[in-house]
Each structure stands twice: as structure tokens, then as C-alpha cells.
Amino acid sequence: MNLTSENYYSVEANREYLSVSQYKDFVGTYGKPGCEEYALAKLNESWVENMEDSDALMVGSYVDSHFEGTLDLFKAKHPCMFKKDGNLQAKYLKANDMIQRCERDELFSTFMSGQKQVIMTADMFGAKWKIKIDSYHPGKCIVDLKTCQSISKVFYHPDSGHLNFLAEWGYYIQGAVYQKVVEINTGEKLPFFIAAVSKEKEPDIQVIAVEQSLLDEALADVEHNTPNIVALKNGEIEPMRCEQCDYCKHTRILKQPIWSSELIGEV
């Protein structure tokens, strides 16, 4: 299957290729635990994600589509975001503030001025991978645009301590996979950057360089976890349920009462 911008997100493409978001469905990140059964259910289309069209999510997609250069298509797909005169509804106006904040910064604009939405594929760790780069500067660097609640937000987990938003949402994994797939295609190992803009009342911006040691660490995890995902996708092993996600709640079958002491589980 030859990937294009039209079929990149199709079920067929997701079955043939592994992507970072699919990997995260299976394995999870600190912020969102993985669930193998849910990930497979999405692939067989027996579970359709309930994409809450939350305002914050729509604002993020609007900003993404602006930098992709696909704002017209986005407007056509989401007419409800706009008033009759074609301007954004008041609750989404922040998206324009965010875009303007990014574009009035020279460094941010330079990093976002690469080739947009570049698709690459590679065989890696026994799977066929697909990636789509937000802003690719051949021979120089790989840039991914992220909208977030707050760039400096700290996430706490009892086992791992305090994490930044990159660790929380698995962006080191993304950087590691993107860097490796580009290297397999071009022979060049390029630095990975996150161009971040926050959805705060006063949008905050940063271009964040990801340390190579963190990418190496993330890639080692990917190498370790990929064979299991391939076996799951091939139906060779049974998926595990997380018993926490919406899919697991929806499909839970009660067999017997549980003890009250089981409610919190092991903390």
C-alpha cells in the first residue's frame, strides 16, 4: 500500500502500518495507559472512538490545520465552528490568537517553515511504520507542532515523579520513531524539535530541543514493545484489557461481585 495524504489515516493503512499514535494505543504513555484490546478494537472498527468535540480539541485542530495549510478544508468540515460571516465563533477565537502568537516569533516561524506533512515509511523492529512530519527540514531537523494546556505544566506520578508534558504524552516516543524512520530513509540522523503553543488565555510558545539521550531511551522501549504489537495485530496472541478505558467500561461483563478492597487496587 502506497501512503498518501488521502489514505494515511485509513483503517487499511493502520492495519498495514504501525504509527506512533497506534503504538501509544497499545503501550500507553504516562498520561494515558495503553489497552491492547481497545487498540485492536479500533483497528477492526468494532470500536469507534467517541471523539469529544471539546472546544479545546477543536482549537488545537484549527491551529494544526492552519500550519498544515489545510484551513479551507477544515472550515468545510467544521462549519459549526464559524459564524455566518465566516469568522470563528467567540469561544474558538483563541485559536487565532495562538496562530498570531506563533507567527510573530521569528524562531518559531523558521522552525515551522519546513516541508509540511511529509509522509515516510520504514521497516523497523519487525513492523512497517508510517510517520507524517509537520515541518521537515531535510538534512537539518524534524519539527512537530504541539498545542498544549500549558508548556510548563508539571505532571506527577507516584512511580516516576515529576514529568513535563513531553514525557506525559509520549512525545519522546514520537521523536525517537520519527528520527529513526528519517534515518532509515535518508541515512541522516536529524535532531527532533517540538514547536509548542499553549491554549492559555495568553498563549505561550517555545521551540523545544529534545535531548538525544531521551530519544535513545524511548527508541529502546519501542524496540522492546514492537514485536508484541505485531503479534497482537497478526492475531497470534490474545490482547490484554486495561479495565480502565472507555472501551473496557463499555464491554465489561460482570461475572461475580468484587470485594470493596479491590476498588482502589495496588497503588
Chain contacts with Zn ion (rule: CB under 5 A) = 35, 38, 242, 245, 248
The residue nearest Zn ion at its CB is 35
CB of 267 vs Zn ion, minimal distance in Å: 19
Taking alpha carbons only, the member of 166, 217, 216 closest to residue 193 is 166
Q: 230 or 242: whose CB is closer to Zn ion? A: 242
Min separation Cβ 261 and Zn ion, Å: 22
Query: Minimum CB separation from Zn ion for residue 37, in Å?
Result: 6
Q: How far is the CB of 35 from Zn ion (least distance, A)?
A: 3
Judge contact between 240 and 131, C-beta under 8 A: no
By the 8 A CB rule, do 111 and 194 touch? no
Calculate helix-pair angle for 94-103, 55-68, nearest 10 degrees. 40
Q: Considering the complex, what minimum distance in angstroms separates the CB of residue 47 from Zn ion?
A: 10
4 burial (CB, 10 Å; 0-12 / 13-18 / 19+) is: exposed
Query: DSSP character for 211?
Result: P
Question: Of the two residues 141 and 242, which places its CB atom closer to Zn ion in the complex?
Answer: 242
216: cell is: 535513545
Q: What is the spatial distance between Cα 59 and Cα 61, in angstroms, rounded to a whole number?
A: 6
CB-nearer residue toward Zn ion: 131 or 245? 245
Q: Which CB sits closer to Zn ion, 142 or 245?
A: 245
Q: Is the CB of residue 191 less than 8 Å from the CB of residue 209? A: yes
139 vs 265, which CB is nearer to Zn ion? 265
> What is d(CA 181, CA 184) in angstroms, rounded to the nearest whole number?
5
Minimum distance from CB of 38 to Zn ion (Å)?
4
State which residue, 29 or 65, has the beta carbon closest to Zn ion: 29
Give the shortest CB-13-to-Zn ion separation in angstroms: 23
CA distance 246 to 264: 18
List the one residue out of 183, 207, 25 whose CA is nearest residue 105. 207
Distance (Å, whole) CA 79 – CA 74:
8
- Among residues 40 and 59, whose Cβ is nearest to Zn ion? 40
